[in-house]
Structure 1
Amino acid sequence: MRPRLSRRTAVAALVALASFAALVPTREAAAQAVTPIKFVLDWKLQGIHAWYYLAEDKGYFAEEKLAVTIDQGEGSAATVTKVMAGAYQAGFGDVNAIVQNAAAKPGQAPVMVYVLYNRAPYALIVKSSSPVNTPKDLEGRTLGTPAGGAAARMFPVIAAKAGIDAGKVKWTNVAPNLQEQLLLKDHVDGAAVFSVTSYMNLVAQGVDPDKDIRWFHYGDYGVELYGNGVMVSQQLVKDKPEAVAGLVRAVNKAVRDTIANPDAAIAALMKREPLLNKDLEKRRLMYTLKTVMLTPEVATQGLGDVSDARFARAFLQLKAAFDLQRVPTAAEVFDRRFLPPLAERRILAK
């Protein structure tokens, strides 16, 4: 025969059970604890986006209670306008486009929270057989660019540094997937490109980009601009600062994992787009790491951060090139409060 509980014991048990139930979140409450984030890339899926999908597969977003939806983009400058419009809460895009928008529309532009491209991957390219041997030789010639392309948008900066009369350069919009092809077929004299994209596009077309193409990298002509990184809306910073910090932590982990094991990152990318050329995208990823990400500056200050002095000089270059009405403060453009500790971001330059 089971012993009967006393009334006092029974009441105490019910109180304890109710208290425990109050501490256990309901399914609805648990769902509400997850922050949804719509995230837009700078372009179509490529090896340079692999770390975002690796973060997803490894559960880094979930660990931070984030539900991140990743969409393809239409240009690194276009990312800024998409986040400004409220269509996305975060994205991967161009910090220099943030500067321009912050100058014109204070308080509305997104904020960069994690810089990935320590060296802006902007370049002008011509065929090696071209009579264009210096950037100034582009005067009187036609350059192709996709609509929203950041390299073309930033052309006035290299023009000012390299002595090009920008008014003497003609432009034509081209389909993104035809940019290199039109150059190779002489439909344009040159192109303003993202080196990390164009380099491998040329390889895919059977061209040796080191021998068959002449490159004018903006950074080689005194252009001190940074490039792409993770940006978030000001509303997300205001309403969900913990989500911003979590997003940055997750991306930082995935970038470090990608550097340590590129094959795993490319495998995560291929799960989303099996029709990509796996070997080409891995080569694109490695080229990006080598040329614009793992720089001596990153070896010193870690992934994600900027040099304040260089940042200030870059702002002045943008002001001169675009005749900005005002130079935004660094805090309007970049917020390092969300960066993980240096020990978690340090990567030796290769």
Structure 2
Amino acid sequence: MIKWIAAAALTVSLVAAPAYAETPVTKIRFTLDWKIQGIHAWFYWAKAKGYFKAENLDVTIDQGEGSAATVTRILSGAYDAGFGDVNAIIQNAATRPAETPVMVYMIYSKAPFALLAKAEGPLKSLKDLPGTKIGAPAGAAALKLLPVLSKNNQIDYASLSILQVAPNLQEQMLLQGQVDSIAVFSATSYMNLVSLRRDPDKEFRWFFYADHGIDLYSNGVMVSPKLAHEKPEAVKGLLRAINRALHETVGDPKAAIDLLASEEPLLNKDIEMRRLTYVYGSLIDTAEARELGIGDVNDSRLKSSIGIISTAFELAKQPDAAQVFDHGFLPPKADRLPTTIKN
């Protein structure tokens, strides 16, 4: 009798086993926008703490080649998701809407595009721009947007002297007086100045485009149309894991940078700790993020920014906001509200 019960139980367990099988793991190839920096801490935190795994995700994280390159990497099919620039999505969605990635979690609520000038230099306000020399890498978004910035602030763009410079030489050329200002990505230039042992807050003036009529969004998490359409629950799980990791990183940034250094031994922990703190306070923890939660966007503002990018890059067609950002994958607002970063 006992043997019969045991055999029956085994039979039941074998028959029932498929009903308790776990959801198949979804593999996601994720690309960063650049080399590993403090601003990437939450992605590695989510992986190390098992948050991706808890969502039945197997996430591989690779370093990137630029914010715009994230879009082309996903377009090529080499990656399923990544951290990159929404403005590059807008440009590609104008011609390839069905293939272009969609942003699903906005991280940089304020765009980091800015003109950087020495405090002791001739540029005291944007009204002083005419007749000055501006340095910028060819093709840089901050340079592409300069005509729009000029128009919005009644500046004759033709009066500006533009000098194309290598990205790694921008700050040095400004310090040497070869240019009066440089068109920059603040998250990078701020820490380049720190590395040069200069005080980016006291020795320089920052003219953020966002404060002068060019109110754009910037970097966030984007996914391929294929992943969004075929694995929507995987996308939701990806965002839950990243959102949780971002908030825990903010709560203990030192631990997050220590973890990041274990991934990249050559990382300068002091520099990347300051980068993380600076970027979070200036680009992520904004008034809008406090209202909508990190990850979300204001539709009216997004439409306006699409119009600005369409004009600046002379797009043949202006994409719809729904082709650029999808709110449907976001975690609840209560889980996304920002808190002050711990020092």
Q: TM-score, normalised by structure 2?
A: 0.90
How many aligned positions are there?
A: 340
Residue 245 of structure 1 deviates from its aligned partner by 0.9
Residue 21 of structure 1 deviates from its aligned partner by 4.8
Alignment RMSD: 2.5
Amino acid at match of 2:14: A
From 89, 95, 99, give the equivalent of 1:104.
95
Amino acid at match of 2:329: F
Q: Is the 8 A contact 1:94 1:150 kept in 2?
A: no
Map 1:9-28; keep pairs closer than 5 Å. Answer: 12=8, 15-23=11-19, 25=21
Amino acid at match of 1:235: K
Distance 1:98-1:136 versus aligned 2 partners, 3 A rule: farther
Using the TM superposition, name which of 162-171 and 188-197 deviates more. Answer: 162-171
Q: Is the 8 A contact 1:77 1:148 kept in 2?
A: no
From 258, 272, 287, give the equivalent of 1:281.
272
- 1:70 matched residue in structure 2: 61
CA distance in 2, matches of 1:246, 1:108: 22
Distance 1:147-1:270 versus aligned 2 partners, 3 A rule: farther
Map 1:38-187; keep pairs closer than 5 Å. Answer: 38-135=29-126, 137-139=128-130, 142-146=133-137, 149-167=140-158, 168-174=160-166, 176-187=167-178
From 187, 191, 216, give the equivalent of 2:207.
216
Give the structure with higher Rg (CA). Answer: 1
Q: Is the 8 A contact 1:225 1:314 kept in 2?
A: yes
CA distance in 2, matches of 1:98, 1:52: 21
Is it true that 1:265 corresponds to 2:256 in the alignment?
A: yes
What fraction of aligned residue pairs are identical, expressed as a percent?
A: 52
Secondary structure of the 2:222 match is strand
CA distance in 1, matches of 2:174, 2:58: 41
Distance 1:253-1:5 versus aligned 2 partners, 3 A rule: closer
Amino acid at match of 1:195: S
Using the TM superposition, name which of 183-192 and 43-52 deviates more. Answer: 183-192
Q: Is the 8 A contact 2:117 2:204 kept in 1?
A: yes
Map 1:318-337; keep pairs closer than 5 Å. Answer: 318-337=309-328
Q: TM-score, normalised by structure 1?
A: 0.88
Distance 1:301-1:234 versus aligned 2 partners, 3 A rule: same
Residue 217 of structure 1 deviates from its aligned partner by 0.8
Distance 1:177-1:17 versus aligned 2 partners, 3 A rule: same
From 235, 238, 241, give the equivalent of 2:226.
235
Distance 1:200-1:166 versus aligned 2 partners, 3 A rule: same
Q: Is the 8 A contact 1:77 1:149 kept in 2?
A: no
CA distance in 2, matches of 1:214, 1:132: 8
Q: Is the 8 A contact 2:250 2:340 kept in 1?
A: no
CA distance in 2, matches of 1:340, 1:286: 24
CA distance in 2, matches of 1:166, 1:108: 35
1:93-139 alpha-carbon deviations (Å, 9 max, x no partner): 11111112112322222100000011101111122333233446445
Q: Is the 8 A contact 2:38 2:272 kept in 1?
A: yes
Amino acid at match of 2:162: K
Distance 1:21-1:312 versus aligned 2 partners, 3 A rule: closer
Secondary structure of the 1:274 match is coil
Q: Is the 8 A contact 1:119 1:226 kept in 2?
A: yes
Distance 1:67-1:165 versus aligned 2 partners, 3 A rule: farther
CA distance in 1, matches of 2:229, 2:181: 43
Amino acid at match of 1:228: N
Distance 1:145-1:33 versus aligned 2 partners, 3 A rule: farther
